[in-house]
Amino acid sequence: MAWVAGNIIPHEGALRARLRRMAASSWEIDDIVQDAYLNIARLKSVAHIRDGRAYLFTTARMAMLQRIRRDRIVRIDSLTEMQAMALEDEAPDPERRVGARRELERIRQLIDALPARCREIFELRRIEGVPQREIAARLGIAEHSVEQQATRGLKLILKALAADGATETPFSGTQGEKAEGNHGNG
């Protein structure tokens, strides 16, 4: 968890900037960054990673390539019947779709369980892609507090995802709720 916070999260801005230079839309950038974080969160260990920045950029590149492959448009009328049937077989089966929905719902529950201020900032920054400066202005807080709360939210979610089979969110009833009132000192 601390490794991700120190070696991955600081490079998110540079990754987003590079994706913008590649003419990706803001929602595509958010999706690619989220996919990269999910792939990193699924790792059993980070001991093999020597350079967090390079790993984040490579993971994002792979997520982007998967997205491109998934989104590739193929004219059905140009395929033979056999090719069309083969394409249908490659579509995710119902079990994978249900699993993906469950995972998305779990992430949503983890976000909803964040302390109120942390959740508000996390959603604005990570889901809606609102710039840090704009969030600070909207909420009347310092930019570094926005960064701290967004990072804190991500850490809590990653920690919960890493907790194998935990039934309760690890941050309900913790000091995080007490720190909520002081806007980022947690």
- Within 10 angstroms of residue 85's Cβ, the number of other Cβ atoms is 10
Question: Residue 44: phi, psi to the nearest 5?
Answer: -75, -30
Give CA–CA dist 116/176, Å, rounded: 10
Q: Which of 169, 176, 161, 160 is nearest to 118 (CA)?
A: 176
**Whole-number mean pLDDT of the chain?**
75
By CB atoms closer than 10 A (0-12, 13-18, 19+), residue 121 is buried
Question: What per-residue confidence (pLDDT) applies to 135?
Answer: 92
Give CA–CA dist 43/101, Å, rounded: 20
If you average pLDDT over residues 18-35, what whole number do you get? Answer: 81
Q: What is the pLDDT of residues 106-145, one digit of tens each?
A: 888 888 999 999 999 988 888 778 888 999 999 999 988 9
Question: What per-residue confidence (pLDDT) applies to 77?
Answer: 47
Give CA–CA dist 112/179, Å, rounded: 17
**Could you give the 3-state DSSP secondary structure of residue 158?**
helix
If you average pLDDT over residues 4-20, what whole number do you get? Answer: 84
Q: Is the pLDDT of residue 7 over 70?
A: yes
Give CA–CA dist 51/74, Å, rounded: 38
Question: If pLDDT is split at 50, 70 and 90, which confidence band does 167 have?
Answer: very low
Give CA–CA dist 81/40, Å, rounded: 39
Question: What per-residue confidence (pLDDT) applies to 93?
Answer: 63
If you average pLDDT over residues 163-172, what whole number do you get? Answer: 48
Q: What is the pLDDT of residues 76-116, one digit of tens each?
A: 444 454 444 444 445 556 777 777 778 778 888 888 999 99
Claim: this prediction has a pTM higher than 0.85: no
Give CA–CA dist 10/113, Å, rounded: 24
Question: If pLDDT is split at 50, 70 and 90, which confidence band does 175 have?
Answer: very low
Question: If pLDDT is split at 50, 70 and 90, which confidence band does 1 have?
Answer: low
Question: What per-residue confidence (pLDDT) applies to 86?
Answer: 47
- Within 10 angstroms of residue 29's Cβ, the number of other Cβ atoms is 20
